[in-house]
Amino acid sequence: MNTSRLDDMEARAVNRFADAVFIQAGACNPSGVARALVRAINACLDEKMDTNTVRADPAVRLICHQLAFLLGVPEIDDAPLVYCHLLDYCEAHQATPQTGSPT
């Protein structure tokens, strides 16, 4: 099976700090940012960082910040009903094949 580098969840960031700066400049594709986050975390793990050190890594935090912005995480934190709606939807659909997203 031939997969592209973007689909390779074992890939490592060449320079996670450069990726973070680029992403903070306005990346708008959640799947690309999520993949960059995985690559950055993999790079940290290659450096033998423990979980707390990975969580504190500046590049990981900036990439995660952009992903949270793109996905509207502040709205979830600020409006408990939004959180409840999202959780209810996921619980109701956890055993069914993916066919769409909440409306």
Kindly state the average pLDDT of the residues 72-93: 93
- Under the phi-then-psi rule, with left for phi > 0, alpha for psi from -120 to 50, and beta for the rest, what region is 66? alpha
pTM here is 0.78
* φ, ψ dihedrals at 6, nearest 5°: -65, -30
Q: Give the distance from CA 87 to its chain's centroid.
A: 18
pLDDT in tens, 26-59: 999 999 999 999 999 999 999 999 999 999 999 9
- Mean pLDDT over 2-16 rounds to 59
pLDDT at 2: 38
